[in-house]
Amino acid sequence: MAVYTEVAFAEAAALLHALELGDLTELQGIQGGIENTNYFVTSEHNGATLQHVLTVFERLSFEQLPFYLQLMKHLARKGIPVPDPAATPAGEILHRIQGKPAAVVDRLRGRSELCPAVAHCEAVGGMLARMHLAGRDFALQQPNLRGLTWWNETVPVVLPFLQPEQATLIRSELAYQNHVAASSAYAALPRGPIHADLFRDNVMFEAGALTGFFDFYFAGCDTFLFDIAVCLNDWCVHLAEGSPDNSRTQAFLQAYEAVRPLEAAERQLLPALLRAGALRFWISRLWDLHLPREAAMLQPHDPSHFERVLRHRLPLASATDSCMTADCAA
């Protein structure tokens, strides 16, 4: 994604040799995104051309990264199409470049579908349900680092950059999400490892078929419903105005439930979690825009998009509000 760490050709070549992936022939920085340094790496090995992605992690620590990398290994073994981290002969999948943690994963085939149709949403919904089921027996635990705790910490930091009306909205929505999180209905939601950032640019298609999910570096243990909400807020909205697309939403949910039917608590709280998903990305985009880090290639996303998504989601939660009030009163 954005290039914060300039990796020398010789340094990348040495890592590929250690992973027994052959001789490096091309090293290309990837533009887009804002969290980590990413390069496409191409190598020649026993007459074959191999393509991988080299990631240098700019915020995640050596202690945090085994969760993400082992989760990808776990899902790959279960048949979920995700990048599989390359290992040394000794089995090491977490490496070091310029003192920073790094990993090399295989590059998925195809391209992202940035203008998804109903069929794309069906494919993502079904595969997301498969991924949730496949991750239920994953042994490692790590919270969603961009969850409610982070929202509570970050909103005061971004408030000075907001107009009064925006500040009122973000404060009231944060209070509402703390209210929801304290409810017994929320405590009943099924949980496990989630992607937490499965946007259109993190899924690959080839010839109309879904070929993989990638960029798991916001993953964590959270409610499956939050993962669904994040997807619905990206795959199933009109980008120009942020309003939901009913046909794509229905297709996504039907495909998901064909694999893993939603529980009663999930049906009850879906409107509230749709608001939560919009709030999370409004906060993070405000943070990235107003408190940026230097990078060789940097394209911060527009925060106002998820402000619009949130405003469109607000009327949908009116029925949930009364349920939450009754729950807390009890």
> Could you read off the pLDDT of 104-149 as tens digits, one per residue?
999 999 999 999 999 999 999 999 999 999 999 999 999 999 999 9
pTM of the model: 0.90
Residue 137 Cα distances to 71, 75, 94, 191, angstroms: 10, 10, 22, 11
Domain 9-106 is of which CATH architecture?
Answer: 2-Layer Sandwich (3.30)
Query: Identity (one letter) of the amino acid at 133?
Result: L
With b for 16 or more beta-carbon neighbours within 10 A and e for fewer, the 46-61 pattern comes to eeeebebbbbbbbebe
Task: State mean pLDDT over 212-237.
Answer: 97
Q: Are strands 37-45 and 23-29 parallel, antiparallel or unpaired?
A: antiparallel
CA-based radius of gyration for the chain: 20
Give the integer Cα–Cα distance in Å for 275 and 222. Answer: 16
pLDDT in tens, 8-24: 999 999 999 999 999 99
Residue 275 Cα distances to 54, 125, 126, 233, angstroms: 34, 19, 22, 9
CATH code of the domain made up of 118-329: 3.90.1200.10
pLDDT in tens, 233-278: 999 999 999 999 999 999 999 999 999 999 999 999 999 999 999 9
Give the integer Cα–Cα distance in Å for 306 and 278. Answer: 5
Domain boundaries, the chain: 9-106, 118-329
Q: Which two tokens stand for residue 325?
A: 């009030």
Q: Which two tokens stand for residue 100?
A: 């920073």
